[in-house]
Amino acid sequence: MDILIDKTVCIGAGQCALTAPDVFTQDDDGFSELLPGREDGAGSPLVREAARACPVSAIKVAP
């Protein structure tokens, strides 16, 4: 599964990092980013829920 974060849309709400902390974090400016080595989201059943939780739909998940 591929995870795409549109940083031009992200507002730094942090819902992704709260929902799937093993995949997402926030950068120094508070915007969403993937943890190193987690670009494919492998192993986390919460990735799709994190995408749904994003208030501005900045996260897309592709199979």
Q: Could you give the CA distance from residue 23 to residue 13 in angstroms, rounded to a whole number? A: 16
CA angle 54, 30, 60 (to 5 degrees): 30
Q: Could you give the CA distance from residue 29 to residue 2 in angstroms, rounded to a whole number? A: 24
38 compared with 12, residue with greater pLDDT: 12
The string of pLDDT tens digits covering residues 33-56 is 999 987 777 667 899 999 999 999
- Tell me the pLDDT of the chain averaged across its residues: 91
pLDDT given at position 42: 62
Domain 2-62: CATH architecture, name and number where available: 2-Layer Sandwich (3.30)
- How confident is residue 16, by pLDDT bands cut at 50, 70 and 90? very high
pLDDT given at position 4: 92
Rounded to two decimals, what is the model's pTM?
0.87
